[in-house]
Amino acid sequence: MIENLSTTQLAILSLLKAKNKKDIEYAPIPGVTHVVKELFALKNTKLGNELLDELNFEPDNFGPFDETVSAALEDLNAIGLIRVDTIGSSRQIQLTQKGRELSDSIWDVLDDDVKGLVSYIKINFNNLSTEGLLNKIYALYPEMTVNSKSRVALKYRH
């Protein structure tokens, strides 16, 4: 099954498998915005850029966006590897049991430097509020504020 997944889908499953700041494995990602921004952060490293060659982020309503991520999430949900739960006004993405088993298999074949990078991203971004996440992304990549409708973007526009 791994061979049928895109690099974006593999990255999402790896992020969902990685431990969070509280050292909890399989911790959910707090929403679609977080998934997109965590993949953007991953892509903007030398190693991540090599791994995620299919992604091409552009400035959008809330900073960097690539439709490929939304499609990957929809496909992972449709084949039963992830679940998207609505909690209040937000959505939380987590692995199903089938997704956990597959993400374990993926994790087992990743190089240590890839595991380290994915873990770093999960630890440093997953615990942030959406506003905190946007603050971090916009501070590092102010060019991504151009089309943003977020009030957070205003302080980073030139």
3-state SS string over 28-94? CECCHHHHHHHHHHHHCCHHHHHHCCCCCCEEECCEEECHHHHHHHHHHHHCCCEEEEEECCEEEEE
pLDDT at 91 over 90: no
The per-residue pLDDT for 105 is 97
127: which 2 tokens? Answer: 């615990």
Element (H, E) at 118: helix 112-125
CA–CA gap between residue 158 and residue 146 (Å, rounded): 9
Question: Tens of pLDDT along 29-64?
Answer: 999 999 999 999 999 999 999 999 999 999 999 999
Rounded to whole angstroms, the Cα distance separating 80 from 155 reads: 40
Q: Are 33 and 118 in contact (CB under 8 A)?
A: no
**Region 101-125: what's the mean pLDDT?**
97
The yes-or-no verdict on residue 158 having pLDDT over 80 is no
pTM, two decimal places: 0.94
List the domain boundaries for the chain: 2-144
CATH of domain 2-144: 1.10.10
Each residue's pLDDT tens digit, 2-35: 889 999 999 999 999 999 999 999 999 999 999 9
Q: Read off the tokens for 27.
A: 């911790």
pLDDT in tens, 130-155: 999 999 999 999 999 999 999 999 99
